[in-house]
Amino acid sequence: AQKVTQAQTEISVVEKEDVTLDCVYETRDTTYYLFWYKQPPSGELVFLIRRNSFDEQNEISGRYSWNFQKSTSSFNFTITASQVVDSAVYFCALRGTWGNDMRFGAGTRLTVKP
Amino acid sequence: DAGITQSPRYKITETGRQVTLMCHQTWSHSYMFWYRQDLGHGLRLIYYSAAADITDKGEVPDGYVVSRSKTENFPLTLESATRSQTSVYFCASSTITSYEQYFGPGTRLTVT
C-alpha cells in the first residue's frame, strides 16, 4: 500500500525566510513517482514537480528546491527567500508502479507574512 | 486553450437526491480522475478512467458512479447524496506517458 505523510499541518514564516516542507512516503514498489502540488487560496491545484524513484538527483527551480532521499523515504521541498505569494497548501503525492492510484498527503498550509 | 473545466462550480443539494458533476477536458488526455478533498485527508481518489468506456475504482468509490462515453468527458454521479459526501470535488487528467495530473478548478458540493 502507498502512503504519504506530511507531518507539518501548518507552517508560518516571515517573508524572506527559508522554509522546508517535509514529505515521507511508504511503498513496496521499486519504481514509483513522487509529486508536489501547490493549492493557493484560489483553490486550484498546480503541479510543481515529478520525481522518478530511479532519479535521485535533487532539483532546483528558481527559489524552489527538492531533496529526494530514498534512504529515508523522504522528498522534501524547500522554498528559499519565501514570498507572500508562496502562501498556499502544498501537497506531496506518490504513485506506484502499477495502476493510477496516486496517494496524496494531508497537505501543509504555509503562511508567509510580510 | 480551455484545458480542464468542471461544472457546476458550486452546488447545494438535499440528502437523497441524485446529482451529477461534470468534467470536460480539451487536451485529449487518455486518463481522467475524480478526487474528493476533505480537511485532514488531502485528496482521495474516487474513480479513474484509462480511456473511453474503461473505468476503475479508487480509494473511496462507495456512493459514486462514473461513465466515460467520450474521451473528453468524465461525469461523476452521486446516486443518492448523503451529508458525508459534502466535499470539494476535483477532476484531473493525464497522458499515458506522463504521470503528472492536471486538475480542474473544483466543484464545491454541499449536501443538506
- C-alpha distances (whole Å) from B14 to each of B21, B35, B69, B90 are 15, 21, 28, 21
Decide if A41 touches B, using CB distance below 8 A.
no
**CA angle, B29 then B59 then B81, to 5°:** 95
Asked if residue B1 has pLDDT above 80, the reply is no
Chain B residue numbers with beta carbons less than 8 Å from the beta carbon of A104 are 35, 42-44
CA distance B75 to B84: 20
Q: Check CB contact under 8 Å for B58 and A101.
A: yes
DSSP letter for each residue of A51-113: EETT----EEETTEEEEEEGGGTEEEEEESS--GGG-EEEEEEEE-SSSS-EEE---EEEEEE
The shortest C-alpha distance from B32 to chain A (Å) reads: 10
Mean pLDDT across A54-74: 92
Residue A63 CB neighbour total at 10 angstroms: 13
Write the pLDDT tens digit of every residue in B20-51: 999 999 999 999 999 999 987 889 999 999 99
CA distance A111 to B2: 30
CA distance B103 to B52: 19
Contact B53, B69 (CB under 8 A): yes
Asked if residue A12 has pLDDT above 80, the reply is yes
Reading the block at residue B98, the C-alpha cell is 506522463
Instruction: Note the pLDDT of residue B2.
Output: 67
Chain B residue numbers with beta carbons less than 8 Å from the beta carbon of A33 are 99
Q: How confident is the model at residue A102 (pLDDT cuts 50, 70, 90)?
A: confident
Query: Residue B69: exposed, middle, or buried by beta-carbon count in 10 A (0-12, 13-18, 19+)?
Result: exposed
Give every CB contact of residue B70 below 8 A, 6+ residues apart in sequence: B52
